[in-house]
C-alpha cells in the first residue's frame, strides 16, 4: 500500500518535482508514495503539465502553499484522475471538519469565489503522479485566492498528515472492497 511522509523542511515547487521516482530519489520511499510539504510555488510555463493553462499562459504562483505529491506505480491516467479527484474530496471533507464551506469544481477547491487549490494528474512511463497544493499565504497570486491562514488553519503539518492518512485509508478500503466481492457469471 501507499507510504506517506510529512517533510519538515520547506521545498519550493516549480513543477520539476512532478516526475517518476522523485520521492524515492529524494526521500528513499520506494513504491507507491505520497509526501506533503510547504514551500513557494512558482511554476514556469515550460514546467507546466496542464496544457489548458499553458495555452492560456496562466501562471501558477503562491508565496506559500501546502503541497502533496503522490506517485502510484501504474500508468492508467484515467485512474490517476480518479485518485486526484478522491484526494480533492478528502481535502474538502477535512476542511469541512473546521466548519469551512468549500466548493469543489472538478479538481479545484474554492471558498466563495476565491481559489484555494491547484491540482494536476499526469503519467510517466512507469507511474502516475498527482500534485495538489493549497494556498497558505496569497500575496501576489495571479488570480483571486484564499489561504489556509485566512481560514484559521495554522497547524499545517497536522492538517497535511490527516489528509494523507485519510487518503491512505481510503485506498486500503477500496482494495478491501475489491477483495471481498464474489465474482458472478451471467447469461446475456
Question: Is 8 inside a domain boundary?
Answer: yes
Identify whether 76 is part of a domain: yes
C-alpha cell, 67: 503541497
Q: Report d(CA 61, CA 13) in Å as an integer.
A: 10
The C-alpha atoms of residue 159 and residue 10 are separated, in whole angstroms, by 16
Q: Is residue 10 part of a domain?
A: yes
Is 58 part of any domain? yes
Sheet holding 3-6, edge to edge: 3-6, 33-43, 60-72, 128-137, 117-123
Q: What's residue 23's pLDDT? A: 98
CB-CB contact of 109 with 147 (8 Å): no
Q: Please check the confidence at residue 188 and state whether its pLDDT lies above 70.
A: no
- For residue 54, pLDDT over 80 is answered with no
Instruction: Give me the domain span that covers residue 83.
Output: 3-179
- Residue-wise pLDDT for 119-136, tens only, equals 999 999 999 999 999 999
Residue-wise pLDDT for 78-116, tens only, equals: 999 999 999 999 999 999 999 999 999 999 999 999 999
pLDDT of res. 52: 80
pLDDT in tens, 9-46: 999 999 999 999 999 999 999 999 999 999 999 999 88
Number of domains the chain contains? 1
In a domain, 185, yes or no: no
Phi/psi-derived region of residue 28, left when phi > 0, alpha when psi is between -120 and 50, beta in every other case: left
> What is residue 47's predicted lDDT score, i.e. its pLDDT?
87
For 143, the grid coordinates are 488570480
Residue 47 domain-assigned (yes or no)? yes
Q: What are phi and psi of 19, to 5 degrees?
A: -150, 155
Average pLDDT over residues 40-66: 88
User: Domain containing 80 — which CATH number?
Assistant: 3.30.930.10
- Taking the CA of residue 187 as centre, how many other CA atoms within 13 Å lie in the half-sphere pointing to its CB? 0
pTM for the model: 0.95
- 187 is a domain residue: no
Q: Is residue 184 part of a domain?
A: no
In the predicted model, is pLDDT for residue 180 greater than 80?
yes
Amino acid at each position: 500500500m501507499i507510504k506517506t511522509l510529512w517533510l519538515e523542511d520547506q521545498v519550493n515547487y516549480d513543477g520539476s518535482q512532478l516526475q517518476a521516482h522523485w520521492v524515492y530519489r529524494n526521500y528513499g520511499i520506494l513504491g507507491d508514495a505520497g509526501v506533503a510539504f510547504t514551500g513557494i510555488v512558482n511554476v514556469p510555463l515550460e514546467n507546466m503539465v496542464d496544457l489548458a493553462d499553458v495555452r492560456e499562459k496562466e501562471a501558477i504562483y503562491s508565496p506559500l502553499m501546502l503541497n502533496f505529491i503522490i506517485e502510484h506505480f501504474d500508468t492508467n491516467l484515467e485512474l490517476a484522475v480518479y485518485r486526484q479527484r478522491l484526494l480533492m474530496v478528502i481535502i474538502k471533507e477535512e476542511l469541512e471538519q473546521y466548519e469551512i464551506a468549500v466548493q469543489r469544481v472538478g479538481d479545484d477547491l474554492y471558498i466563495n469565489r476565491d481559489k484555494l487549490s491547484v491540482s494536476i494528474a499526469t503519467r510517466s512511463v512507469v507511474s502516475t503522479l498527482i500534485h495538489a497544493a493549497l494556498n497558505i499565504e496569497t500575496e501576489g497570486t495571479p488570480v483571486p485566492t484564499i489561504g489556509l491562514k485566512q481560514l484559521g488553519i495554522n497547524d499545517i503539518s497536522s492538517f497535511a498528515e490527516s489528509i494523507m492518512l485519510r487518503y491512505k485509508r481510503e485506498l486500503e478500503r477500496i482494495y478491501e472492497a475489491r477483495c471481498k466481492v464474489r465474482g458472478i457469471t451471467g447469461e446475456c
